[in-house]
Structure 1
């Protein structure tokens, strides 16, 4: 597979090759999730697949960086993103508010990218009531392990991947504890970890919540290319921050109903919210301008903006129309094309599943 260098190539590759492969893998995982004995774990595993398919679809574009090994990259991306979405659901809808429980759950994400972790007798659920998943989570970890063991000299990129994964895990722990502890924990963590004066604490937190940098490094690794430091610095915080701010933007109504923390709510008003996301678009463009395959990476910005803003959840947000219009203007004409293609794709997909 060639790395797409134009919007038409990206769209063709997504619809013709990547998305069908992603959905085939997700159907297999859905069958496994349906066999989970514990009702709560089964419910959250299925919900994480059914409501967040587009996370795997969107991430799959990075599989093209693996070239001939793109199917292996998709296997990793689907497995790792499914771990992420499943654990996020378990924490969001959890009876527990124990940070140690959340950290133990997310050891799965760290084991998935570590070199030869000790998985013998591991129990990621040991600090919670719901236990029996019939090996579902461990199978996802082992799927990721199977792929990284095929990456030449994985040890050279592993530290950069673990840095991103560790930040992700810290975020999940801090943002899911009891309500009154969340902001103090996140702001203290921000002061300890951040060295970018341009970021608010909640923008830094958002940037840690993306898996895109990991997918990029894994895919390049499968192609026997190692761009560890340059990709880490190019993806974090701007592109990853843009990714998750858009994710929170479309989840505003849903998070309000569920009482979940939403980072875009910490902007002073709608005007600042739109301006800062627009600023993150510009920062991401600048920081991706001098890296390998930079034309491809620039297209990802268009894809992120168009794909997220075309999500049906945007209709539930009061007054979102003007914000969408402005953000599409900030991103440019290619994002607008992705936006309209995204709307058409979801409509077609909805008809097929009806």
Structure 2
């Protein structure tokens, strides 16, 4: 059944809760089952953890499946599988047993292969101790490949998908090596791009590379039969760097306390002070708004951008952040009334969701029905 692309906040929220999120949870239930079957204890632990703690990544990314209209379920399948690869590998690089950039690079070839239907599958664990995952990562890759193989004129959008994926992979490799090597590597990497984006700092550019939103938008348009090099170029230029940068900077913003406690790299910590950070966040909101104007379905894209601002700023972790009470109203005012709507809606969702989870209930088709 086809779904329509929403122009308003209520329509977007309604579609997300009634159709998109239940489908996401259905897909994740399968991958959680597969992760539980992994024989290697370390790989199993990281696979299960990535699903349990990062479900909201798949929920948020899968909103783009709406752009696929009648093929939205296929889009959700791809988005959940690809985002699960991303989250799983992030755990393996961030929380596991290796600091080897060669290992990280080879692991992330799975994300390149996932965007290349028919590409030869590799042993992505070649350079690490843990090896046996019972085909978990390979199945995630082939699930993505199968979905993409059904996109007409896929070859027109693939170069832009690979470009976005390449930026993401480079970031993941550089940011997870030994602590003393991370910043020098990221600064050196940025030198290759600084002339193209002179208004960005090295840490802002790194944040822009860390989002998968452009990939999800492009694949969903492709599934809807709108794959073209012209649209792909528009998506790339509209999403990179500012929309993707806004996404990841907000993500790092709410994780500041957690990352400090864990000793993890956080790009927000490199701003000279809170006032500079606030000014730059406002700049990213403005640039995102401006660059999305040229896209088809621009109201949808702008809704998602405003949703990002509202949803991230409504996160419970914001309470731990110094000066958040001063910065949040300014960001919400800049993003507008729709961002404030998503802010309030997300606050409510956080209150209701634990109760629903406790009762084992899931929202389906606008009603509350008991999960099987």
TM-score > 0.5 by shorter chain? yes
Match of 2:366? none
Match of 1:266? 270
Match of 1:299? 303
Alpha-carbon distance in structure 2 between the residues aligned to 1:153 and 1:267: 43
1:323 shift after superposition: 2.0
Gaps of 5+ in 2: 359-372
Alpha-carbon distance in structure 1 between the residues aligned to 2:96 and 2:190: 25
Once the two structures are superposed, residues 9-40 of structure 1 have per-residue CA deviations (whole angstroms, 9 ceiling, x without a partner) of 11111111111111111111111111111111
- Work out whether 1:311 is the aligned partner of 2:315: yes
Over the aligned positions, Cα root-mean-square deviation in angstroms equals: 1.0
Alpha-carbon distance in structure 2 between the residues aligned to 1:105 and 1:210: 18
Match of 2:363? none
Alpha-carbon distance in structure 2 between the residues aligned to 1:74 and 1:192: 34
1:343 shift after superposition: 1.4
Match of 1:209? 210
Q: Within 5 Å, give how 1:214-293 maps onto structure 2.
A: 214-226=215-227, 227-293=231-297
Q: Within 5 Å, give how 1:3-14 maps onto structure 2.
A: 3-14=5-16
Alpha-carbon distance in structure 2 between the residues aligned to 1:350 and 1:319: 28
Asked if the contact 2:117–2:146 (Cα under 8 Å) also holds between the matched residues in 1, the reply is: no
Asked if the contact 2:46–2:96 (Cα under 8 Å) also holds between the matched residues in 1, the reply is: no
- Which of structure 1's runs of 4+ aligned residues deviate more than 3 A? none
Match of 2:154? 154
2:346 aligns with one of 308, 323, 342: 342
Alpha-carbon distance in structure 2 between the residues aligned to 1:313 and 1:48: 18
Once the two structures are superposed, residues 245-286 of structure 1 have per-residue CA deviations (whole angstroms, 9 ceiling, x without a partner) of 001011111111111100011000111112111110000000
Gaps of 5+ in 1: none
Alpha-carbon distance in structure 2 between the residues aligned to 1:52 and 1:247: 12
Aligned length: 352
Match of 1:137? 137
Alpha-carbon distance in structure 2 between the residues aligned to 1:150 and 1:115: 9
Alpha-carbon distance in structure 1 between the residues aligned to 2:163 and 2:206: 14
- Work out whether 1:92 is the aligned partner of 2:72: no
Alpha-carbon distance in structure 2 between the residues aligned to 1:34 and 1:328: 40
TM-score, structure 1 as length reference: 0.97
